[in-house]
Structure formats: C-alpha cells, structure tokens
Structure 1
C-alpha cells in the first residue's frame, strides 16, 4: 500500500467513526473488481479479494437500515410514500454522494487503467464501494456498528429527501411532459455493468426538447425511476 493511499484509508476510517478489528474487511470493501483477484497481495502474501460479494451484502444491509429508519421517522407515512423514500435513499447516486463526502475514492484500490479513467470519481464505482463498506462494518461490528455509521453518513441524504416523496416518478414525468405539449418520455439502457448477482443498469431518460439525463439502479425499472426523478428535479418540477 502506498503512503498516500494508506493515509487515505486512515482518513476514511476516521470519517466512518468505526475502528475495524479486522482491517482485511475494509481492504476487501475498497478493492475494485478491476484489480483482478489474486493480482495483488497484502503484507502477508495473501491475495486481495474484490468487493463484489461485500457489495451484494451491503445492498441488503442498507435497505434494512433505511427501512427501519423510515419506520421510526415517518410513523404516519403510507407504504407507497415510504417505498419512494427508500428508493431515493438507496439508489446508486445517493450511495455515491455518501462516498464522496467520506472521501472513499482516494482510499480505493483500483487497477491502473480504471484509476486513469477516473474510477475514483465514478458514480457506479463509488456507490458500489459504499455499500461494500457498510457490509464490512456489519461483519466487523454487527448491526449496531453498521447503524451508527449509517445514521451519520446518510443524515444529509435524509435531510435532502423531499417532504413528500414521489410514489411513481415515471408517471409524474409523463404527466409533466404531456403538460408541456411533448411526446411521452422515452428510456433506453446505456450500460449494464457489475456481476450477474448484483448488476447495475444505467438508463437515459429523454423528453423531446429537453437534454436527456442518465441515472443508475439495481434493475432497469429502478434506473428508469431514478432517471425520471432526476429529470423532474433538474427541471424544477419537484
């Protein structure tokens, strides 16, 4: 580990507020698949393992923690409203914003090619790493440790979530487009990345006469909803 990256990992640990008993969990969470399993080894000669399995677990941990927080914070919200809020808080863009605030990028282990292409700032890379980090905290310290990191790291996201979340952003975008005298919005898959068990879809949403906008999600449907929401936000509708 270079001195620069070692300092970045120490800074990330301070930002997380969790002192890892098993630091190999954090190292795995920070290792991007581009490194290649076994391509690099730690100080003991053991091959590094990438963070894809951690990401799979972290996605579920995050969903549980968000759902639990929503149940406590919004006792009068109905299921549809809470589902919309949950989607906004667990999507790839939200995870990437959390990662940026915690300075995850400089601490990541990437292949030279991925690093040169801006991987430390890429939304998908950062979002996946943030989920993996949450899983690492869960495995290292249990649910309460994960909850403490989550409550601190996601607080700005809760503060930014609209008081009334959109239950169906695609329908809202359709109504807005028709109200502007435009044709129905269109969606297309720009990219599909990640493993088979944890894919990431990048979808572009378009309304005639307006610049298109892309967003990511765990499924095509989630990515379309995220893109519709982002487009409505950009145009000042919500």
Structure 2
C-alpha cells in the first residue's frame, strides 16, 4: 500500500484493479505531446485514437445488454453523454491520472494536470493500453466498473439533452432563452477544441469545452443548468 502512495503508476494500476505486463504501454498512455517535444519518445495520440474506438465498442455492448428495448437513437444519445469530455474528465480525475501525466514544462505551468481535455484524452489512451496489454476482458471489466455509476444518473437516462433542460429551466426561472456564443477554437486540425459560452440576456451563465461545437454547447448548457438550479 505504501508503494502505491509513492508510485503514481502503481496507484493507477491499483485503482484499475489491473497490473500491466508491459509498463511501457502505461507510460505511453500518460505521455502528452508537449513532453515528447522536449524530451523525445512517443506521445499518447495513437493510443488515444485506438482507445476512442475501444470505448465506443465496449459501451455499445454494455448499453445493448442493459437496455434491450431501447432504440438506436436513444442508445446513441446515452453513449454520447457517457463519452463526452466532461464524463471522461471526471473518470480520469477519479483515477488520479493528472498526477501521473508526463507534460512539457509549459503545459505543466499552464495547469495541464487539471485540464479536462488532457485528462479525457489520457483516459482513452489508458483504455487502449489496457486492451493491448491484457485483451478484451480486463478492458471490459474496467469500463463496466467506471461507467455503471454514470448510467444510474437520472439526467443521463431521462431522454433529454442538457440544452433542452437548460432551455426549459431558463424559461421558467428567467423568462429568457439561452444564447450560445463560440469563444475560441484551439488545437491542430485533427484534435480541435471548441470553447462555447452560454448567456441569458447579457449574463454569462456557463462555459463549455468539447471536440465539436455541439459537444461544447452541451457542456456549457450543463454548467448553466446547474447554476440556475442552484439559484432556484
């Protein structure tokens, strides 16, 4: 137990309930491109690419079993909510991936260990590393353990997205409809990040980040909805 406290990689293995045979895969999954730019080696982008596909596959299988009577559109919506940046970032934080990330000096100083986009990418890379190291069964066990609690969320399963929830709540509490504004687009063409703000009248109610403008709007709507519910 004491070793786990001092070795971030062992800590992650302990929380996953899985020990890697090839530690190099685990290290690669936690290596950001800014670290490679300074120190060389291989970053986690290829594992992130593969992990995205592994996660979609395992979640699709999980949802088919849990919701046998659901239609394609509903299953697609639930899966999209599970794999958005907010959900993946939360899971990555629970695994404490931030402390184990290998970052360049600039990214380190810029708070990279707490950035949700970096954490979400690292989780996908970690899942790919787990699959490549141990095969489908351990990857499936980890996905089910981490995502099952999210499936119990009433908001997730209600059949309505965050923008719809915000629109109705804003109309009820404020008598206004939300307005979304694209704040910035960052990152290279293959890995863009969209930042969107949501306003009620002239008041900024929330900000969201996503890999698409639509995902960023959903993220912003969730933040604004929680703020409104708190005010109400």
Task: Using structure 2 for the length normalisation, give the TM-score.
Answer: 0.85
Deviations 1:209-229 (A, max 9, x none): 654212222211122123223
> CA-to-partner distance for each residue in 1:172-206, whole Å, 9 max, x for gaps?
43344344454432222233334422323222222
Q: Secondary structure at the match of 1:215?
A: strand
Instruction: From the two aligned structures, give the one with the greater helix fraction.
Output: 2
Root mean square deviation, CA, Å = 2.7
For 1:102-121, list aligned pairs within 5 A: 102-121=95-114
1:148 and 2:135 aligned: no
Shift of 1:165: 2.9
CA shift in 2, pair 1:193/1:29, >3 Å: farther
| 1:1-238 mapped onto 2 (5 Å cutoff) | 7-37=7-37, 39-40=38-39, 47-160=40-153, 162=155, 164-180=157-173, 182-208=175-201, 211-236=204-229
Q: Could you report, residue by residue, the CA deviation over 1:24-82 in whole angstroms, capped at 9, with x for unpaired residues?
A: 11111101122134x32xxxxxx421112222222222222222211111223333332
Post-superposition offset of 1:4: 10
Higher relative contact order (Cα pairs below 8 Å, separated by 6+ residues): 1
Flag structure 1 segments of 5+ consecutive residues without an equivalent: 41-46
In structure 2, C-alpha distance between the alignment counterparts of 1:110 and 1:180, rounded to whole Å: 43
Aligned-partner Cα distance in 2 for 1:79–1:27? 37
Any unmatched runs of 5+ in structure 2? none
Corresponding residue for 1:44?
none
Q: In the TM superposition, what is the alpha-carbon distance from 1:95 to its structure 2 partner?
A: 0.8
Label 1:179 to 1:162 Cα distance change in 2 as closer, same or farther (>3 A): closer
